[in-house]
Chain A
Amino acid sequence: MIQRREFNKLAALAAASAAAQARAQQSSPAPKPATNDGITWDKAPCRFCGTGCHVRVGVKNDRVVAIEGDQLAEVNKGLLCVKGYHVGLALYGKDRLTQPLLRRNGVLEPISWEEAIETISQKIMAAPEQFAIYGSGQWTIPEGYAANKFIKGGLGSNHIDPNARLCMASAVTGFLSVYGVDEPAGCYDDLDKCDVLIMWGNNMAEMHPVLFSRVMDRRTRGEKVTIIDLGTRRTRTTEFSDHYLEFRPHSDLAIMNGIAHLLIKQNAFDPKFVERFCNFRKAPKDPLATPSAPLHGDAMSFEDYKAALEPYTPELVEKLSGVPAEQIRMLAGLFANKDIRITSTWCMGFNQHSRGTNANRLCHGIHLLSGHFGRPGDAPTSLTGQPSACGTAREVGTMCHFLPGGRLILNPEHRKETETIWNVPEGRINPKIGHHTVLMWEKFCTPADKGGDIRTLWVQVTNPGQSLPNLHKLFKAKAGQPDKFLIVSDVYRTATTELADLVLPSAMWVEKNGMFGNSERRTQQWFRMVKPPGDARDDAWQMIAVARRLHDLGHAGMKDKDGRFLFTLKNDKGEEVPVWEWPRYYDMNVDKALFEEYRAFSRYKHKDLAPYDEYVKARGLRWPVVQQQDGTWRETKFRFSEFDDPYVKKGAEIQFYHSVTKDDKALIWFAPAEKAAEEPDADFPFWLCTGRVLEHWHTGSMTRRIPQLHAAMPHSYVEMHPEDARERGLANGETIVVKTRRGELRLPVWIDGRGHPPRGSLFIPFFDERLMCNDLTLGEVDPISKEPDYKKCAATVARASSAP
C-alpha cells in the first residue's frame, strides 16, 4: 500500500511537472512512456461541456481509476476544470441503471432486452407517424447519425429533434443567415491572439473555465489582454475583467445597434471590407412571412442600414440598456481601432433569447462592419454547452428540419442526395419538417383528441423532465395519459424517468466507442475502455436493434432499395456483421462504419471530414479537413480566410463561399431592439434568470453523483441583491418562495453569494432535480430558431412562512 501511495504521488507530480515545463516553454511535451503500474492510459474528450478538453483516462481492472489533462491536446494543453478531473467518477454513481424497466401498474419493473425492443417496435408499428425521437448534443456522432437515418431514412418521418434546440439553435440560425453555413469561422486560437476579449452574457470563468484559463495564462506571461464582461449580473468572470458593463435584460440588441450607429456616425467602420465582402439585410417584421424570410430577410442598402441605426444614439442606448453612454462609446472605439484584434464570445445569453437569432446576427454584424474578422484574434465565436452539439446536432443534422451535412428537409435536391447516399427509394424522406423540441413536447403532452399527434416518444442521452422550460405544460402534463408512451435511455434515474413507461440502461462515455464535435469544429474520437455495468448497452445498438426488429416485423422502411437492411454494416474485411445482436456488436467497430458512411455527407458544405483512422491518431481535427498532395490530412483553423482555408480562391483574401446571396459576401443585418416576451410588472416585479454553476453540468444527473462536486455545491439556491432582501426582511439562507405565472419554487436565498444580481433581478441554477427552476420559466421561443428564452421572465418572491 505504501508503494502504491508513493507511486500515485509520483505520477501526480510527474503530470504536474510535465505541465509546468510545457507552459514555461509554450510547447507540447513528448508523449509519456507507458507505465508498468497496471494502469493503462488512453485518450478521450471530456464527457461534459462543449469546450472539448481531452483527458487521459487511466484504467485498471476494468475500472477508470485516474484522470489527467492531456498534454497533447491543443484545446486544454493538459488542463482540466473541476468537473473534468472528476469525470471518471460520473460512471460510478451507485444507482446506475443496469437493466431495462417497464412500468406496470405504476411501478418500473425489470424486463429483458428482448421484451424492451419488442415493446418499442410494436408501439412504432402501431403508429409510426406518431412516433418521435428526442435526442441530444451528448449523443456521439455515430449515435445521432444512426437515429437520424432510422427515423428520416427508415420511418419517413422528421419528428426528431435534439436538446441542442434548447441551447444552440439561435447560434445556428445566426451563422446560417450571416454566412450561409453553420458554425464559427474562427477557433480557440483566437483566444491566444486577441487584444480584446468581449464576453457577451457569457460567464466563461465558470462555464468554460479551461478557455478562460487560456486567456488568464496570457496575462500571467505579461501579455496585455483587455477583458470585457457584458452581463446582467456580476460573476467570477467579472472579477477578472477590466470592464464590466451591466445591462438591462434583453437590451443587448440595443447595445450592438449603438456600436454600429457610432461606427457609421464617426465614419469609423471599414468601408473597404464592407464593400468587398458584405451585403445588408433587414429582419422582416414577420420573420415567417415567406419560406425564405427567416434566413434571407429583406434586402437593404447601406443608406437604409445607416438610417435604421440613426435612432440608436449612445444616449438612447443608455436609456434602453442602463449601460452609460461613455461605455457604449468605449466599445465602439475598440471596434473602430483596426490595430487591435477583437474576439467576441457568447453562449446561452444570446441563444436562449426570444430574439436570439437577431442577437447573433448583430454581433456578427459589428465584427463585419468594423472589419474585425478573418485575422487570428479577430472573430465572433459562439461557445457550446454540450460536448457534441456541433458534431451531432448540427453537423449530423439531427434537427427536425435538417438532413446530414447542412442539407435541408425542404430542399428537394437535398432530399434526393440524401436518399442516394442512404440508398433508399426516391420519396422515402418526408418533405415536411417535423416537430421542433417545444412543439414535440407540447404535442406529446396534449391528449390525442385535442391535437396531440405524438403518442410514443423516445428520449436518449438527455433529461427533458428537468431541462425543458415551463415543465408543467411541456412535461408534467404527460402524467395521467395512458395512451402516451415515454421511452427513456439513460444511465441514471432522472426527473425524466419519473414519468417514463420504459427505461433503457445505457452505456456512457468510455464504456463505448464514441466521437464528439466541439465548439471550434473539432471532431474527436475515443475507444471503449471499460465495460458498462450490468446489462447497460450502447444507445446506437438500441436504435439499430429496434430497426432490425421492425425489419423482421415487415416494416418496408427498414430496407433500402435493394432490399437490404438499413443498417447492413461490414467489418474491415468486408464481412457483414449482425450488429443488432448484442453479443456481436463489438465484433466490429460500428462507430467507424457509421462514421465512414456519414463522411460522404460532409463535403457539400465544405465541412470535410477525414477518414476515421485519422481521428484515432489525433486529439481532434477541425473541419474542413482536406487531404494534401502528399496524402496527409490538414485541418483548418480559420475558415473563409485565404491564408488558411483551402476552399478560398487565390487572391480573394476573404471569401464567404456559401454566401446566402450567392456572391461570396456575408450579410450584415439590422434588427431593432425589442421588449422581452415577459417583463417585470407590479405583480411580478423581478427579472428571473436561470443558468449553470461551475461544479455541476446541466441537470446534474452525472455531477450530483460525484461526491466531490456534490459536496462543493449540494443544492440549488436563488441569488438576490442584498437591498432587495433587506427590504423584504429576508436573511441569507432563509427559504423563500419564488413565483412566476407558471409555478412556484421554495429554495434558500443566497445574498452576496457567488453571483451578484443587480436590484430587481434573481438567478437560479438548474442543476438540482429537487429544486427545478424550469417549473417557473417561460417557454417563449425565438420565432426563427424556436429556441426558448430561459434567461428572462417576471417573478415575485415571498417569505416561505407568509406565502399563500
Chain B
Amino acid sequence: MLTVGLLVILDSPSPHVMDRLRAHPAMTVGEVADRWLPVAVEADDDESCREYHDWIAAQPGVAFIDVVHVNFEEPDADSNPSPSP
C-alpha cells in the first residue's frame, strides 16, 4: 500500500474538479487554498498509483501536480529489483 500526498494546482478554483476528485474512492480531498488543492491518494501498488496520478492530471481544470509526501512503510520486498548487467 502506498500513500501519497499531492498538491493539485488548478487553473482556477473549480467545484467541478474538486467534486470529481472527492468521488474517487482512492482519494481524500482536503480544503482548497486559492488554486492549490491538497489530495491524499491510496494505491495498492505503483502501477495504480501512477494511473491515479495520470487520471488527476487529465481532469479538465488541473494545471499541474506536485508530490509532497510519500509513505512506503509497507514496501513489497519482492518488487525490489537488483539490476544485473
Most buried by B among A23, A705, A712, A769: A23
Tell me, rounded to whole Å, the shortest Cβ–Cβ distance linking B15 to chain A: 16
Which residues of A approach B to under 8 Å, CB–CB? 4-5, 8-17, 19-21, 23-25, 58, 60, 65-69, 78-80, 82, 85-86, 88-89, 92-95, 213, 216-217, 220, 492, 495, 498, 700, 704-705, 707-708, 710-712, 769-770
- In the complex, the answer to whether A20 meets B38 with C-beta atoms within 8 Å is yes
- In the complex, the answer to whether A69 meets B69 with C-beta atoms within 8 Å is yes
CB contacts (< 8 Å) of B25 on chain A: these are none
Chain B residue nearest to A210 in the complex (CB): B66
**B23 at interface by CB-CB < 8 Å:** no
Give complex CA distance A395, B45 in Å.
43
Chain A residue nearest to B70 in the complex (CB): A85
- In the complex, the answer to whether A15 meets B5 with C-beta atoms within 8 Å is yes
- In the complex, the answer to whether A12 meets B46 with C-beta atoms within 8 Å is no
Give complex CA distance A216, B7 in Å.
14
- In the complex, the answer to whether A60 meets B80 with C-beta atoms within 8 Å is no
- In the complex, the answer to whether B83 meets A769 with C-beta atoms within 8 Å is yes
Choose from B35, B41, B75 the contact partner of A89 (Cβ within 8 Å).
B75
Give complex CA distance A710, B49 in Å.
15
Give complex CA distance A216, B64 in Å.
9
- In the complex, the answer to whether B68 meets A16 with C-beta atoms within 8 Å is yes
- In the complex, the answer to whether A495 meets B5 with C-beta atoms within 8 Å is no
Known A9-B42, A23-B7, A708-B49; 19 more pairs at CB < 8 Å: A5-B42, A8-B42, A9-B28, A13-B40, A20-B30, A20-B31, A23-B34, A23-B36, A66-B73, A67-B70, A80-B68, A85-B67, A86-B70, A92-B75, A217-B9, A220-B64, A707-B46, A711-B46, A770-B83
Chain A residue nearest to B77 in the complex (CB): A94
Tell me, rounded to whole Å, the shortest Cβ–Cβ distance linking A669 to chain B: 39
Give complex CA distance A14, B69 in Å.
9
Report, nearest first, the 4 A-B pairs whose CB atoms are least far apart.
Answer: A16-B38, A12-B5, A15-B69, A24-B33
- In the complex, the answer to whether A65 meets B67 with C-beta atoms within 8 Å is no
Number of interface residues of B (CB under 8 A): 44
**B63 at interface by CB-CB < 8 Å:** yes
CB contacts (< 8 Å) of A708 on chain B: these are 46, 49
Chain A binding site: helix, strand, loop or mixed by DSSP? Answer: helix
Tell me, rounded to whole Å, the shortest Cβ–Cβ distance linking B9 to chain A: 6
Tell me, rounded to whole Å, the shortest Cβ–Cβ distance linking A765 to chain B: 15
Choose from B6, B34, B50, B73 the contact partner of A16 (Cβ within 8 Å).
B6
**Interface CB pairs A-B, < 8 A, 22:** A5-B3, A8-B73, A12-B5, A12-B41, A19-B38, A20-B32, A20-B37, A23-B34, A58-B71, A60-B73, A66-B71, A78-B7, A78-B68, A85-B68, A89-B75, A95-B82, A213-B64, A217-B9, A220-B63, A492-B82, A705-B81, A711-B47
- In the complex, the answer to whether B80 meets A19 with C-beta atoms within 8 Å is no
- In the complex, the answer to whether B36 meets A82 with C-beta atoms within 8 Å is no
A-B contacts counted at CB < 8 A amount to 156
Choose from A24, A79, A705 the contact partner of B80 (Cβ within 8 Å).
A705
**B39 at interface by CB-CB < 8 Å:** yes
Chain B residue nearest to A708 in the complex (CB): B46
**B55 at interface by CB-CB < 8 Å:** no
Choose from A5, A79, A216, A704 the contact partner of B1 (Cβ within 8 Å).
A5
- In the complex, the answer to whether B31 meets A17 with C-beta atoms within 8 Å is yes
- In the complex, the answer to whether B75 meets A220 with C-beta atoms within 8 Å is no
Q: Which B48-85 residues sit within 8 Å CB-CB of chain A?
A: 49-50, 63-64, 66-73, 75-77, 79-83, 85
Tell me, rounded to whole Å, the shortest Cβ–Cβ distance linking A236 to chain B: 13
**B18 at interface by CB-CB < 8 Å:** no
Chain B residue nearest to A25 in the complex (CB): B33
A23-B36, A705-B80, A712-B50 known; A11 vs B71 contact (CB < 8 Å): yes
Chain B residue nearest to A89 in the complex (CB): B72
Give complex CA distance A712, B67 in Å.
16
A20-B38, A67-B70 known; A770 vs B85 contact (CB < 8 Å): yes
Most buried by A among B36, B67, B82: B67
- In the complex, the answer to whether A66 meets B81 with C-beta atoms within 8 Å is no
CB contacts (< 8 Å) of A85 on chain B: these are 4, 67-70
CB contacts (< 8 Å) of B32 on chain A: these are 20
CB contacts (< 8 Å) of B40 on chain A: these are 9-10, 12-13, 16
CB contacts (< 8 Å) of A11 on chain B: these are 3, 5, 69, 71
Give complex CA distance A80, B70 in Å.
10
Chain B residue nearest to A772 in the complex (CB): B85
- In the complex, the answer to whether A24 meets B83 with C-beta atoms within 8 Å is no
Tell me, rounded to whole Å, the shortest Cβ–Cβ distance linking B32 to chain A: 7
Choose from B47, B68, B76, B83 the contact partner of A69 (Cβ within 8 Å).
B68
Chain A residue nearest to B41 in the complex (CB): A12
Give complex CA distance A710, B47 in Å.
12
Tell me, rounded to whole Å, the shortest Cβ–Cβ distance linking A712 to chain B: 7
Q: Which B3-20 residues sit within 8 Å CB-CB of chain A?
A: 3-7, 9
Give complex CA distance A24, B49 in Å.
26
Tell me, rounded to whole Å, the shortest Cβ–Cβ distance linking B10 to chain A: 9
Give complex CA distance A93, B81 in Å.
7
- In the complex, the answer to whether A707 meets B81 with C-beta atoms within 8 Å is yes
- In the complex, the answer to whether B68 meets A19 with C-beta atoms within 8 Å is yes
